[in-house]
Amino acid sequence: MSFTFNGQVAIVTGAATGIGRAAALALARAGARVLVVDLQPEPGEITAAQARDYGSEASFVQADISHADQVANYVRKAVDTWGRIDVLMNNAGWQGDITALVDYTDEQFDRVMAINVRGTYLGMKHTLPVMIRQQRGAVVNTGSLASYTGTRMLAPYTASKHAILGLTRATALEVAREGIRINAVCPGPVDTPMLRDIEAAQAPGQADTLRQRRSASIPDGRYASPEEVANLMLYLASDLASHITGQGIQINGGSHG
């Protein structure tokens, strides 16, 4: 067993920025051919170009992961281009409004669920048949500390991240005998654009103070970098994790979820 993705094909959703971009670039460095999927074309194309700079084949597909036809399209693109899919990183996500549940609009609730839950479900639904034909594959879904604990003003996001753990655990059982593993990576705070948006909404004008206080409450005293989370995602997708499936693995500097 070794830590290489040479000859493998990986799809990473939400790879225009943050954790997804770090994972796409780490996969490219490790030898994978990478399909970068995101809503945002400009930074998505930049991720793909950076991946090619590592000598990897990489392209970008614009998709809203909450729409079945767009998910089917990115899966088709990977298979038409490279003939197989070894790794799916179901990573795109959205925090929604930072608002008390009683003030939440039903439309916002549905949108958070559509992106985080339906997007993860659709990614697996359309990719697993390819992996089953191959009798090989690994899926890494992006959960969160919010897969285990509650956070004020983030009830729909919290519910969606709990659901990702449920999808991971149940679907892993369905394909465990098909050579396919499905796990979830569950980070605490990670220094990305999403977290900066959340901090700005939670503490208008005082986001830096909130950030310092929150960092200090983490046992190792800091947020994760996107690259640290990507390292765990690659490990879970690699053959080194060959007996790990159906798990949520936390990465949070020692916090207890």
Ligand X SMILES: NC(=O)c1ccc[n+]([C@@H]2O[C@H](COP(=O)([O-])OP(=O)(O)OC[C@H]3O[C@@H](n4cnc5c(N)ncnc54)[C@H](O)[C@@H]3O)[C@@H](O)[C@H]2O)c1
Catalytically annotated residues? 157
Enumerate residues 125-164 that contact ligand X by CB under 6 A. Answer: 142, 144
- In the list 31, 50, 52, 64, the residue contacting ligand X (rule: CB under 6 A) is 64
9 binds ligand X (CB under 6 A): no
Distance CA 159, CA 108 (A): 13
Min CB(133)–ligand X separation in Å: 25
51 binds ligand X (CB under 6 A): no
- The nearer residue to ligand X, 125 or 136, going by C-beta atoms, is 125
- In the list 123, 189, 248, 253, the residue contacting ligand X (rule: CB under 6 A) is 189
Tokens, residue 37 = 């999927």
199 binds ligand X (CB under 6 A): no
- The nearer residue to ligand X, 56 or 160, going by C-beta atoms, is 160
Min CB(21)–ligand X separation in Å: 8
91 binds ligand X (CB under 6 A): yes
Residue 173 CB coordination number (10 Å): 11
- In the list 29, 31, 40, 215, the residue contacting ligand X (rule: CB under 6 A) is 40
Residues that bind ligand X (CB under 6 A): 13-14, 16-20, 38-40, 63-66, 91-94, 115, 119, 142, 144, 187, 189-190, 192-195
